[in-house]
Amino acid sequence: MDVVLLLGVLVAIASVIVALLTVTLRDLVYSSSLLAVLGSLVAAFLALLGYYIVAAFIVIVYVGAAVMFIVLTVSMLGGGGVEARNNLRGVLAASVTLVAFTVALITLGIPPGTFPVNVDVRVVSDSLLSDYAVALVVLLVALAATVIEGISVARRG
């Protein structure tokens, strides 16, 4: 079986699971955090398809949006809630994740010649400014709006 196909299927399955958890969890901070994870999984899927620049933009936007959601949630609802701790659940989740990554790395391995990749900054900047100029402007405006919103929320306390 092709490694990229297997990774694509695993990322797609993980995306569906994380998307379901995002909309079913009742805690807004956890849902916002899972939204960032979902954005990262979608970006990974796009990177597997070969859309590296789009994947990088999605990571930037989703992580920024998730941080803003967390900041807004904490500032509006306050951080005074007491969270019930279940250490066994955290240890179990960490163990399952460690085993899954270890099995994936041992089974799939890293194809030779994949990392590191040399990138010429001039080629990337020329491509961004010529081929992706409109997307870059929209991204910069969205990120500026997010920063302004974060400063506004922080000032209101």
pLDDT of 18 above 80: yes
Global confidence as pTM: 0.54
Per domain, the residue ranges of the chain are 3-111+121-156
- The tokens for 141 are 């405006």
The pLDDT value recorded for residue 11 is 84
Query: What are 79-115's pLDDT values in tens digits?
Result: 555 556 666 776 777 788 778 777 776 776 666 655 5
> pLDDT > 90: what percent of the chain?
0
Query: What are 59-76's pLDDT values in tens digits?
Result: 887 777 777 777 776 766
The pLDDT value recorded for residue 85 is 62
The pLDDT value recorded for residue 84 is 61
The pLDDT value recorded for residue 114 is 58
